[in-house]
Structures are given as structure tokens and as C-alpha cells.
Amino acid sequence: MNIQPLRFLRRGQVVTLDGVETHRTLLDLLREDLHCTGTKEGCGEGDCGACTVVLGEEKQGRLELRAINSCIRMAHSIDGMALWTVEDLAHDNKLHPAQEAMVQCHGSQCGFCTPGFVMSLFALYESKPGQPISRTQAQGALSGNLCRCTGYRPILDAAQAMQDLPTVRVDQAAVLAGLRQLAKPGAEAAPDASYLNPKTLKDLLALRAKYPDAQLVAGCTDVGLWVTKMHRQFPRILDVTRVKELRRVERYKHHIAIGAAVPLTDAFAALVADRPQLASFAHRFAGLPVRNSGTLGGNVANGSPIGDSMPLLIALGANVVLMSVRGHRELRLEDLYTGYRKNVIAQDEVLAWIKVPRAVRAEFSRVYKISKRFEDDISAVCLALNLHTEHGVVTHASIGVGGVAATPVRAVKTQAALLGQPWNPATVQAAMQVLRAEFSPISDMRASAAYRTEVLGNLLQRYWLESQGAGDTSLETLVLEGAAA
């Protein structure tokens, strides 16, 4: 088995590293091999942001920079990309505006989290050339970074102050030229390489058939934890994130097709464009660096019972498309799962597409995430509802639930209790009791079984109130409005 060279662009130069083992994380590579110790190791699970770095790729002829967590990102996954660490920002003994603003606004105290904040600010700075940065934008960009001593007010001040400093910008033309040089034919991995990074769907399916035991990855935000927390090693990894066909969001008259390699950031943007009411939920799905790295396809295929995207997709009536060299098949998303982290995907298959029906005029859809922290946290309960009513009667009911069973599930009994009934308080109260009785959740570190059961009914009542035009005074609205003030 070959360990192919790892090649990426840094400081305008191509970096080539030989012998980097397949299971090494990007953080390990930076700190141990390249001695870039400015990038810190904190939680080792993409939760604190101390390890944040920025990756660059060409997208539609332009350079796109995104902050990601290096602690759970496989080193070989950045092959062919551009990389920035905190050591790369200052030039000629002058700090980058993201760094200088942190100094001027007193945004650093102990300093351990500071490099991660600076890298998130750097990505934000490059995404808003010459534009003012709002408090809400700053809060969103820093949602994956934690500070335990300075507090967020001066750091948010720094985010807004960056644009007032002398301009320093990445030379996009030079970086794009370097990326295109890296992408020239001849740099492909050997057929028996330990880290396989196919560029086309045809190649992906052929490799999946040839190496059915290879570990599939798509962003590594979960598999990375298997490495950092469970110390697992994989003889061979098959990475789907460079497959051009699966990096697309395709919009059709009746549905949106989201490729399995589409980052969560872009997948949620597509869903929010069709259903704007999902914006708050999308913002609360992990932190921005996790959403920039992880994919919707990976979240669905992983099948965690507390994976937040699945209840929403179940409620929206999403299907998944599985593909192999033998052909393809399509099934309802909830039918993908057979048990705790078990599914019907054959060894030679990959989850290729997620098809989400477009919004229709008669629907009223909402998704509620209950967690101890507003951002960057796992749900205790997630409830998604999509009801259609005509002349005061429920004509369609679709409900997805997370955190109450071994898999994300559809609330079949509750749907039946609503379908064909008048949409009024009596129907809602009856459905609340059915919903509370439909599942037998467990107690764990996030919530007790009794709490989960009670909250399920309460969320259905909340949905009813919002359907009647009650003002939304939810935590989501209050926090986001406060950030904008």
C-alpha cells in the first residue's frame, strides 16, 4: 500500500510532505512535523476552536477561504488546497488587521484561544472586502470559538474594527495560480494509495467496489473523533469530498438535490433559501468551522440518533440516493436506518444525493432544537414539523424527531392523530399526549427521559401558537436580535 505525498499551498509555495500516515490529523501535522505551534490543541473534538486554521479552494473561478477545525481534519484531506495558520498572517513585522484589532480592542487575555479567534476573523475579513461587518455576522463567524477569560464583547468589537485598519488582502490571483498548478494532471494518487481522493463519481464508485473495507470520510467531523478520542487507525481511507458531481446543489421544480460532498454551510444555505424560517436552526447546527468542513451527506450517513439534520429532513420528506457500480436506488431517509448507527448501505455503495422537496404554499414548517448551549452543542431533543392545512383541516402531517430513540425517527402515531383533524386547540392537546407516549427516550448527560417526554409535547404546543401568528419569543430570536442590536 502506497502512502502518497501530501501537497498543499502555503505562503505562496507548494509544500510537499512524504510519508504522512493516513490517520494523522492536520493539527498533528502542523504541531509535530511543521512546528507550527501557534495552532493550539484544546478539546480535540472540534468544540473549542483553538485549533482553527483556514483552507482555500477555487470555486467558480474565485478563491474561497473557510475556517475549519484542524484537530479533527485528516491531514491528507487538504491535498491540493491552500492553507493558512496564525503564523502566516503578519508580514514585515506588521500584524494583520485581524491580529491588530484584537490587540487594540483588548480581545486577548491568557491567549490560548486567541490564535483560533484570529483565524476565524481572518476568514471573515477576507469574505467581506471593504464591507462593514455587523455584530450578527461577527457572532456567526465566531460561533465555533470559545473564550473562557476575556469574554466575547471585546472580541466582537475586534471583528467590527478590522475593516477600519489599513487594508491587507490575500493575493487571490497568485493563490489561484498555485492551486491550478497543484491540480495539473499527474498529481493523482496511485490506485493502491492509502488515502484515496477521487475527483469523479465514476472513480469513486470504482474505488468503493474495489476497496469495500476502506473508511469513507466526508469532512471528517465525526470520523476525526474516532481518531482523537478512540485512537482508531484506518489502513485505507476513501474521501468523497473532491468528487465534482457530489459537490453540487441542483435545484429542480419540485425538489432540491444536495450532493453528499456539499459542506453543511452550503447545504443549509440552499435549504434556507427555500425555507427562510430555517435560518436560526442552521446557525445553531454546530459551529461555523464544523459546518465548513462536515457535509450533510456525512451527517445523514452517520445516522446518529441526535444528528440534528435528520429530523428536519424526515419532516420535509427527503429521500436519499445510494449509488454503486451496479446502479442506484432511492429510498426515504428514515428507511436508511436499521438500528443504532446501522443502515442499509451495502459495502460497495455510497450515499450520493439527498433530495429535499421544495416548499409549497400550504405548508407550515418549523424545527426546534433543545440544547444546553445556544450554539455549538448537541440536542437533547430535536423536533421538526411540516403540516399542511386547508380550510382549517390538517391535510398533510410530517414529523421528524431526534434524541428519543436509537435512530432519528418519524412520529407516525402523532401524524395519524393530526391527519384529517381540525387544526384547533383540542386536536393539538390530543396530539401532544400521543407524541409524549409514542417514544421511550433514555436519560443521559444531556437530559432525563421525563424531560425529553415533557418537552416533546411542549414543542408541539409552541408550534401551534406560532401557526396562529403568536409572536416568536424563542431563545433563538432573542439571541439573534440581541446580537444585531
pLDDT given for residue 1 in this prediction: 67
Measured from the Cβ of residue 42, the count of other Cβ atoms closer than 10 Å reads: 19
pLDDT given for residue 306 in this prediction: 85
pLDDT given for residue 34 in this prediction: 96
pLDDT at 113 over 50: yes
Distance, CA of 378 to CA of 444 (rounded, Å) = 12
The residue among 476 and 55 whose pLDDT is bigger is: 55
Mean pLDDT of the 447-462 span: 97
pLDDT given for residue 317 in this prediction: 98
Mean pLDDT of the 290-299 span: 96
Q: pTM surpassing 0.75?
A: yes
Note whether 143 and 135 are within 8 A (CB): no
pLDDT given for residue 374 in this prediction: 83
pLDDT given for residue 10 in this prediction: 97
| CB-based burial, 194-225: b 16+ in 10 Å, e otherwise | bbbbbeebebbbbbbeebeebbbbbbbbbbbb
Distance, CA of 422 to CA of 259 (rounded, Å) = 38
pLDDT tier for residue 150 given thresholds of 50, 70 and 90: confident
pLDDT given for residue 269 in this prediction: 97
Cell of 236: 485505507
Mean pLDDT of the 66-88 span: 97
Mean pLDDT of the 446-463 span: 96
Mean pLDDT of the 303-324 span: 95
Structural domains of the chain, ranges and CATH numbers in brackets: 6-87+171-239 (3.10.20.30), 92-164 (1.10.150.120), 248-479 (3.30.390.50)
Residue 159, phi then psi, degrees to nearest 5: -60, -40
pLDDT given for residue 149 in this prediction: 86
pLDDT at 418 over 90: yes
pLDDT given for residue 480 in this prediction: 40
Q: What is the mean pLDDT of the chain?
A: 93
pLDDT at 142 over 90: yes
pLDDT tier for residue 485 given thresholds of 50, 70 and 90: very low
pLDDT at 472 over 60: no
Quote the distance between the C-alpha of residue 102 and its chain's center.
27
pLDDT given for residue 189 in this prediction: 60
pLDDT tier for residue 57 given thresholds of 50, 70 and 90: very high
Q: What is the pLDDT of residues 389-416, one digit of tens each?
A: 999 999 999 999 999 999 999 999 999 9
pLDDT at 379 over 70: yes
Highest average pLDDT, of 189-193, 217-221, 417-421, comes from 417-421
Note whether 212 and 347 are within 8 A (CB): yes
